Structure 1
Amino acid sequence: MKAVETFELVLLLLSAVVALHALADKLRFPPSAALLVGGGALAFIPGLPPFTLDPELALVLFLPPLLFEGAYYTAFGRFRAHLPGIISLAVGAVIFTTCLVAVAVKWLVPDLPWAACFALGAIVSPPDAVSARAVLQGIRLPRRLQALLEGESLLNDATGLVLFRFAVAATLSGTFHLGEAIGSFALLALGGAVVGVVVGRLSVFLLTKIEDRTLFVTTSTLICWAAYLAGEALHVSGVIATVASGLVVGWYQHVVMPARVRIQGTGFWRTMIFSLEALVFILIGFSLRSVVDRAGGIAEVTATMAVPVLGVLAAMTFARVVWVFGSDALLHAARRLGVRRARPLGASQAGVLAWTGMRGVVTLAVALTLPAAMPGRDLMLITAFAAILMTVIVQGGSLGWLIGRLRPVDGDPPPRMSLPETEAAIAKAKLRAVEAHAYDADGQLIHPQLLEQQRARARASEKYARDADGFMDGIQSHFEVLLLAIAEGRRELIRLHRAGKIEDEVLHDLERDLDLEEVSITFQRGEQLDLR
C-alpha cells in the first residue's frame, strides 16, 4: 500500500469512527461493538486495499497510552485495598482460563500439541483494558466491583503475554521448565514494577522543572511510552511498567500540575484517548478480511473451524464463571470460619464480574505475532477474532441489561467524609487563609467584604452542603487573597485525600472546581488563558 493510500485509508477510518460512534449513541448501542462490526463490514467493501494490523506496532502504539490513562485515574486507595482480589483475577483467573481452554482445545483438536493448546489459551485468557473501559463507560458499578475490573484490566495483560511467550517457545523447542517459567514471571512482574516506579518518579521530578504549559503536556504524554519501552528494553514487563508509572504520576499530579496545565492536558488526553480507543476497535474489525483470507476464506473457516472455535469460547466463558463464583465461595467459607478480612462479593456482584472480561487489541495483536511454523496458527487467529467479537458484542452489549436485572449493591463501607463534608472542610481552610490576610500590619481590616463573603461561604457549606459561587470586584490584592485561599483549599483537599478520609472521585471533582475558580480569577485579572 502506497503512502498516499495509507493516509486516505486512515481518513476513511476516522470518518467511519465519527459516523459509527454517533449512530451507536443514537441507538444506545455500545460504541465499541458498533465500531468492531462497522470495521468488519468495511473490510469486505470491494475496491478497498487489503489491510494488515502490524502486531508489534499495535502493542506499542495503542497499549501504553491507554494503560497509562487508566492507571492515572485509578482510585489508588481502592486499588491497594482490593489488590488481593485484583491479583486473583489478573493472575489466577488468567492461568486457570489458559489451562481450561488448553484442555478443551486438545479434546477438540487431538493432533494439536499441548504447548500449542496452551498458547491458544494464553491468547484468549486475558480481558482487555481498552475493551473494559469502552464497555463500562456510563455504567455505574459498586466501588469494589469497579476497582476489581479496573485493576484486573490493567495487570492481566502481563500474565497473558508471559504465558503466551513460554507456550510458543515450548511448542517450537519441545521443552518446558515450570520452575524457570515461575521465576521468569516473578522477575518480569517485579522488574516492571520497579522500572515503572523509577520512570514515574523521574517524570514527576522533570515536570516540576517545566514552566511552559505546552511542553508540560507534551512531556506528560511521552511518559507512557518511556515506561513501556524502558521495561521492554530491560526485558521486564512493559505493561506493568506502564501501569506503575501511571499510578505514580496520577498520585503526584495533584501537587505538581498547575490548574491551567491540568485543564489543557485533560482536554488533550480526552481527545487522544477517544481517538485511540475508537481506532483500536475499528482496526480490529478492519483486519478481519486479512485474517479470513489467511485461513482460506469464510467457507473454509466455517467448515473446519466452527466447532473448535465455539468450544474455546464456551471454555473461556465457563472458566471465568467457575473462577469468580469459586473464589467467592471460598470467601464465604472463610467468613464462616471467622476470617473477618474475607468479604465475599455476593451473588449479584459475582454475576456481573463473571460476565465481564471483554477481549480486545492485546488478544488479536498477540495472535498476529504467532510464527509461521506454529501448529494451528490459522485456528488461533480465527479464535482470537471470534473471542473479541463474542465478548464485546454479546457480553458487552448485554452488560447494562444484566446490571439492571441483578442490581448489585455497594457493600464497601462508606467513606469517612462525604462530598458535602469535604466541601465544608475546604471552605473552612479558605476562610482561614482570608482571615490571615484580611488585616494589614497595623491590625486594620482591609478586606471586609471578602472576609464576610468567605464566612458566608463557610456557613453556607456547613448548612446547605454546597459551595458559594461568584467573585466580587475589587482591587488586585483582592484577587491575590482569593488565590491564596484556593491554594489553602487545595492543600486541605490533598491532605484529606492523603489521610484516607475522602475517595478519589471526591478529590477529582473538587479539584476540578478549584481549578475552574483559579482560572476564573486569572481571567478577571486580565491574564488570558492561552490554550493554543
Structure 2
Amino acid sequence: MHTILPFLLAMIAAIVLLNMWANKLKIAYPILLVVAGLLVSFIPGLPMVRINPDLIFFIFLPPLLFEASWTISFKEMKKWWRIIGSFAFLVVFFTALSVAVVTNQFIPGFTIALGFLLGGIVSPPDAVSTGAITKFVKIPRSTSAILEGESLLNDASSLIIFRFALVAVGTGQFIWQQAALSFVWMVLGGAGVGLLLAWVFVQAHKRLPLEAQSHIALTLIEPYFMYWIAEELHCSGVLAIVSGGLFMSARRLVFLNSASRIQSFSVWESFVFILNGIVFLIIGLELPEIVEGLHAEGIPLRTAIGYGALVTGVLIASRMISSYTALLATLIFRPSVMPRARSSRRRWLMPMLLGWTGMRGVVSLAAALAIPITLDNGAAFPQRNLILFITFVVILLTLLVQGLTLPAFIARTKLFDGLFEEEPEEVTRQKMKQGLKQHVYQFLKNKYENELNGHVGLEKFLKQWEERAKASDDSWMNVKTKVIFVEVLESQRQYLTELNKDPKIDEGIIRQQLYQIDLEEERLKII
C-alpha cells in the first residue's frame, strides 16, 4: 500500500501535467498519456500495474458511460437515429466479422471465435479520444452528434459480441438459437433494468430531503448499481447504464436543484477526467508485461506488431466501407433525411470524416484486460497475450495516425467548414437570448403588473437584464423580490425546455443557458 499509493498520486499529477501540455500543443491528451505510460513503464523499480480482470468493467465503465449519457444530446440522437443505429450495431458487427475472418486466415491458431472476441474488443471507437481530438477544430454540429451517439451505443453492441465470443471460446461451441434468445434478453432486459432503476433513483432524489452533496454522492454510486444488478440478471449492464443515464439526464431539472446541478457538473467532469487518464496511462504501463507473455509463448515481437498493424488496417477499411455504404443507402432509400450539403463534393467527403474518426481507447482496453487468465477447466486462455498486444497496437496506431492527422486534415484543407447549411452558433445564441428577454418581460407584465409600478428593483431588472449581475448595490433586493426572481428563473427554464423541442436549435446551447440560470439562482441565495 505504501508503495502503490505514491505511484497512484504521481499518476494523477502526471495526468494533469500532460493534459496541460497537450492543450498547449493542441493535440489530444490521450495521445500523450499513452506514449507517457509506455515510456514510464521502462523505468526500473516501478510497481507492476495489475488489475483483476473480473473488476475492470465494474471499476471504469459504469461512471464513464453514465457521464457520457448525461452529456449527450438525446434530441440529436433521435434526429440522426438511422445513421447512429447503423454505426452502433450494423457497422460494429461488420467490423467484428471482418476482423474474425482476416485473423482466422492470417494468424496461426486464431479461430473464428477468437477472431470475434478480438473484433468485439477493438470494434468500438472511443468517444473520449474523438472528443479530445476534435475540440481543436470545428466540425459540423450534425457530425459531432453522430459521433457522440455512435460512441455511446456501440460500446454496448461491441461488448455483447465480446461476451458471446468469450462463451464460445470457453465452451468450444456456439448455438445460434440460444445466442439469439440471450441477445434479445441482454438488450431488452438491460434497457428495462436501466429504466426501472433510473425511475427509482429519480423518485429517491425527489422525495428524500437531500442536500447538494448527498445528491452528488448518489449519482456517483447509481451507475454501479445499474451495472451490477443488470449483470446479476444476466443482461447487458452497459445498456442498463446507457438507458438509465439518458432517462435521468432528460429529467435533471425535475429532481436536482440548481446547486446540485452546478456542483455535480464540476465533480463529474473531474472524476471522469481522472478515470480516463488512469486508463490511458495503464495502456502504456501494461505493455512490458504483455511483451513478456509473447516471448514466453514464442511469438516474435515484430510478428505481433505486424498482426496489430493488419488488424488496424482492417478496422480503418471496414469503417470507411461502412461510411460510404451508409451514404449510398441513404441517398437511394431515404434521400429526404440526407442533410443538405453546399456541394456534392463535400457531401462525399462526410463519410471520409466519419471513417477517419475511429480512434480506439478506454472500452477496448477494458474489454481486453477483462479476458480471464484461465478457462473454466484451468487451462490458460488461448492467445490472451497476443490479443492484449494487438489491442494495444490498435489503440496506439489509431491514436497516433488518425488522431494526429485528423485535426490537421480538417483545419488545413477546410473541407468541412460550412459542410452543412447550419445556422451559426452565435446567431442561435443571440436569438435564444432575445427570446428569453421577451419571455421574461411578458411573464412579469402578466403576473406582477401591480408590483412593477414604482418598484425600482424590478424596473432595473427589466431595463438592464444583461447588466444586473454587475450592479454594486443590491439593497433593493428583498424577500418578495427574491421570490419573484426565482419564479422568473423557473419560467425561463420552462421556456428553454419548450424551445429545445425545435429541431433547429442546438441542445448544447440550451444547456449552457440553463447552466447560467442555475448560477443566477445560486447568486440570489447569497444576496
TM-score, with length taken from structure 1: 0.88
Matches for 1:214-363 after TM superposition, within 5 Å: 214-296=213-295, 301-334=300-333, 339-342=335-338, 346-363=347-364
Deviation at 1:422? Answer: 2.1
Give structure 2 stretches of 5+ with no counterpart: 342-346, 375-379
Matches for 1:65-464 after TM superposition, within 5 Å: 65-209=63-207, 210-296=209-295, 301-334=300-333, 339-342=335-338, 346-371=347-372, 372=374, 373-404=380-411, 405=413, 406-407=415-416, 409-411=418-420, 418-436=428-446, 438=448, 447-456=454-463
Contact 1:101-1:117 at 8 Å conserved across structures = yes
Q: Secondary structure at the match of 1:358?
A: coil
Aligned to 1:520: 523
* Superimposed CA distance per residue, residues 474-508 of structure 1 (whole angstroms, 9 cap, x where no aligned partner): 14133332222222222222232256574312221
Contact 1:135-1:396 at 8 Å conserved across structures = yes
Deviation at 1:236? Answer: 1.0
Deviation at 1:312? Answer: 1.4
Aligned counterparts of 2:135 and 2:64: Cα–Cα separation in 1 = 14
Q: Which amino acid aligns with 1:378?
A: N
Q: Secondary structure at the match of 1:208?
A: helix
Deviation at 1:397? Answer: 2.0
Aligned counterparts of 2:101 and 2:361: Cα–Cα separation in 1 = 23
Aligned counterparts of 1:504 and 1:444: Cα–Cα separation in 2 = 35
Contact 1:435-1:451 at 8 Å conserved across structures = no
Change (3 A) 1:467 1:247: farther
Aligned counterparts of 2:417 and 2:298: Cα–Cα separation in 1 = 43
* Superimposed CA distance per residue, residues 39-87 of structure 1 (whole angstroms, 9 cap, x where no aligned partner): 1111110111222233332221211111111110111111112122111
Contact 1:93-1:320 at 8 Å conserved across structures = yes
Aligned to 2:62: 64
Contact 2:57-2:370 at 8 Å conserved across structures = no
Aligned counterparts of 1:184 and 1:412: Cα–Cα separation in 2 = 44
Q: Which amino acid aligns with 1:201?
A: W
Q: Secondary structure at the match of 2:337?
A: coil
Deviation at 1:111? Answer: 3.7
Contact 1:332-1:343 at 8 Å conserved across structures = no
Contact 2:192-2:240 at 8 Å conserved across structures = yes
Aligned counterparts of 1:484 and 1:376: Cα–Cα separation in 2 = 63
Change (3 A) 1:297 1:456: farther
Deviation at 1:110? Answer: 4.5
% identical equivalent positions: 30
1:47 partnered with 2:45? yes
Deviation at 1:168? Answer: 2.8
Aligned counterparts of 2:502 and 2:339: Cα–Cα separation in 1 = 24
Aligned to 1:529: none
Q: Which amino acid aligns with 2:406?
A: L
Aligned to 2:344: none
Aligned counterparts of 1:20 and 1:449: Cα–Cα separation in 2 = 52
- Two-structure CA RMSD over aligned residues (Å): 2.6
Deviation at 1:380? Answer: 1.1
Aligned to 2:494: 491
Change (3 A) 1:422 1:89: same
Aligned counterparts of 2:305 and 2:316: Cα–Cα separation in 1 = 17
Aligned counterparts of 1:344 and 1:64: Cα–Cα separation in 2 = 37
Contact 2:4-2:47 at 8 Å conserved across structures = no
Q: Which amino acid aligns with 1:487?
A: E
Aligned to 2:377: none
Aligned counterparts of 1:298 and 1:352: Cα–Cα separation in 2 = 39
Which aligned segments of 4 or more residues in structure 1 are displaced greater than 4 angstroms?
297-300, 342-345, 412-417, 436-439, 443-447, 466-472, 498-501
Deviation at 1:394? Answer: 1.7
Aligned counterparts of 2:305 and 2:266: Cα–Cα separation in 1 = 45
Q: Which amino acid aligns with 1:103?
A: V
Change (3 A) 1:409 1:499: closer
